[in-house]
Amino acid sequence: MELLLEVEGLAKSFGGVAALREGRLQLRAGTVHALCGGNGAGKSTFLKILMGIFNRDAGSIRRRGKDVEFASPADALASGIAIIEQELSPVPHMTVAENIYLGREPKARFGGIDFRAMNRSAQRLLDDLEFDIRATQYMMNLSVAQMQLVEIAKALSHDAEVIFMDEPTSAIGEREAQHLFAAIRRLQAQGRGIVYVSHRLSEIFQIADSYTVFRDGAYVGSGALADIDRPELIRMIVGRELSEEFAKTSTPTQEPGIEIAGLSCPNKIEDISFSVRKGEIFGIYGLMGAGRTEIFNCLFGLDKPSTGSIKVDGIEVTISKPADAMAHGLALVTEDRKLTGLNLSDSVRANICMASLPEMSPSFAMDRAREAQASRDMREQFQIKAARDTMPVSGLSGGNQQKVVLGKWFLRNPKVLLLDEPTRGVDVGAKREIYRIISDFAAAGGTVVMISSEIDEVLGMADRIMVMRAGRSAGIYSREETNAQSLVHLST
């Protein structure tokens, strides 16, 4: 059978450092192919070459057996390769149809745009894919998942035969992900080839037929997913045997850590009550928009709850700003490290010290030796891989950036750790290290509240799990009495 896409020996280096040594991929028509690999495995570079953003140093790309050269993203599209990037960049104040046909609008008389024809063909495209989206809706009114569907429609409007999807579910909920999978299956049925890039192994096993694994910039192996199981795939990705994915070692004590009663914030959350003991990991599971993050915002003084009480170590506390929460020993690792966790333009060291500056400078002037020491300690404790701690944190991989955020908070010796999606967008190896850090913290008597939309993660890590649905609690369950099916069921 003719291959839709065949890539061999693709290589690219930057300033003498090889980012990709040997990229290889074979894609058949009508299949979903998972591209797996940790952060830094070379997937991004591989995708950027296929998108026409980077020039390759070596290697060949064949589309249906013919060699192709891409000088720009337009060339890649013209040859039928479309890539849906992880971070979508739609034009929010334009309609869906305008976004789909951006730059190639059908022309009307006097050089204007034939809006009617454009809307009609966009709508036909969306209907064919059975997407419940109107072509005349404004992009800004769509959910992230819907925007992704629009991206798919856009790819098809270019008549793309090969569609790459880079972490398409990283910002959408479980139900929306199922919707996306349904769309992928329809594309598959049309005989197109989809390359699915994701860190979430359960998704890969659910949607893909075959896989290719990259590690350290090179091809490691490929095959049919039917012939491999999860531990085996993880072993290929990380290159060593992992004894257990979740390193849970802690057990709850009897002492109360944090107790929340009747917490409400109008239109966001209603009547949330739970208490977490020291040494316990308390999971909060729910879909995007179910009010999970809003609980943390209220607890940490980023939002004002209308009612409710918070007790830390059994003592009622008032929290009206983040500094109050921090004074009571709370730490918040936010959901989006780039948006709310890090100052990307600043150094690793400055980021690690950002939440401890008053302690670092008792007399207004910074104690620079202490700063450097703190940074060294945290980098050592969390094995943060950075060439120097004065380099901008934006140059680190996702997993290392997340460890910088953790380091920033651990430097304060918190009593209660609030974690919002602590492993989003980090690779399997870094995930394990983060799980270990969380477990060690709990084992040492810390209190952990962890939000996650990855079912495996909450089931693997949490002692008890609260399920959120539409701003309310749908119940609290111990990990023994629940399973993946019932969590999904309760959250929807």
In three-state secondary structure terms, 467 is strand
DSSP 3-state percent helix, strand, coil across the chain (nearest 5): 35, 25, 35
Cα separation, 320 vs 367, whole angstroms = 29
Q: Which is nearer to other proteins, 278 or 408 (CB)?
A: 408
Q: Does 218 help bind other proteins (rule: CB under 8 A)?
A: no
When binding is defined by CB under 8 A, the residue of 6, 35, 36, 39 that contacts other proteins is 39
Those residues whose C-beta lies under 8 Å from the C-beta of residue 236, and which sit 6 or more positions away, are 36, 213, 215, 220, 221
Q: Does 357 help bind other proteins (rule: CB under 8 A)?
A: yes
When binding is defined by CB under 8 A, the residue of 196, 300, 382, 435 that contacts other proteins is 300
Cα separation, 130 vs 126, whole angstroms = 6
Binding mask 43-72 for other proteins (x = CB under 8 A): -xx--x-----x------------------
**Spatial contact of 133 and 96, defined as CB atoms under 8 Å apart:** yes
Q: Does 86 help bind other proteins (rule: CB under 8 A)?
A: no
State the nearest-atom distance from the C-beta of 386 to other proteins, in Å. 8
Which span sits near other proteins by CB under 8 A: 23-31, 96-104, 168-176, 393-401?
Answer: 393-401
Q: Does 323 help bind other proteins (rule: CB under 8 A)?
A: yes
Q: Which is nearer to other proteins, 141 or 383 (CB)?
A: 383
Q: Does 17 help bind other proteins (rule: CB under 8 A)?
A: yes
Which span sits near other proteins by CB under 8 A: 8-16, 26-34, 139-147, 472-480?
Answer: 8-16
For residue 194, CA distances in Å to 63, 94, 256, 420 come to 14, 28, 49, 31
When binding is defined by CB under 8 A, the residue of 71, 254, 358, 485 that contacts other proteins is 358
Give the binding-site size for other proteins (rule: CB under 8 A).
53
State the nearest-atom distance from the C-beta of 156 to other proteins, in Å. 28
Cα separation, 247 vs 460, whole angstroms = 8
List the one residue out of 314, 296, 329, 309 whose CA is nearest residue 257: 314
How far from chain centre, in Å, is Cα 218?
Answer: 23
State the nearest-atom distance from the C-beta of 287 to other proteins, in Å. 23
Cα separation, 131 vs 138, whole angstroms = 15
When binding is defined by CB under 8 A, the residue of 169, 210, 293, 334 that contacts other proteins is 334
What is the crossing angle of helices 428-443 and 230-238, to 10°? 100
Q: Does 394 help bind other proteins (rule: CB under 8 A)?
A: yes
Cα separation, 250 vs 35, whole angstroms = 34
When binding is defined by CB under 8 A, the residue of 228, 242, 360, 372 that contacts other proteins is 360
State the nearest-atom distance from the C-beta of 40 to other proteins, in Å. 4
When binding is defined by CB under 8 A, the residue of 14, 107, 116, 185 that contacts other proteins is 14
Which span sits near other proteins by CB under 8 A: 140-148, 254-262, 357-365, 475-483?
Answer: 357-365
When binding is defined by CB under 8 A, the residue of 144, 228, 302, 317 that contacts other proteins is 302
Q: Check the CA dihedral 308-310-314-316 and report its sign.
A: negative
Cα separation, 449 vs 107, whole angstroms = 55
Q: Does 361 help bind other proteins (rule: CB under 8 A)?
A: yes
State the nearest-atom distance from the C-beta of 293 to other proteins, in Å. 12
Beta strands in 189-291 (DSSP E): 193-197, 210-215, 218-224, 256-265, 269-277, 281-286
When binding is defined by CB under 8 A, the residue of 251, 306, 343, 413 that contacts other proteins is 343
**Spatial contact of 426 and 199, defined as CB atoms under 8 Å apart:** yes
Binding residues for other proteins, rule: CB under 8 A, are 12-20, 39-40, 42, 44-45, 48, 54, 300, 302, 321-323, 325-326, 332, 334, 339-346, 350, 353-355, 357-358, 360-361, 364-366, 368, 387, 391, 394-398, 408
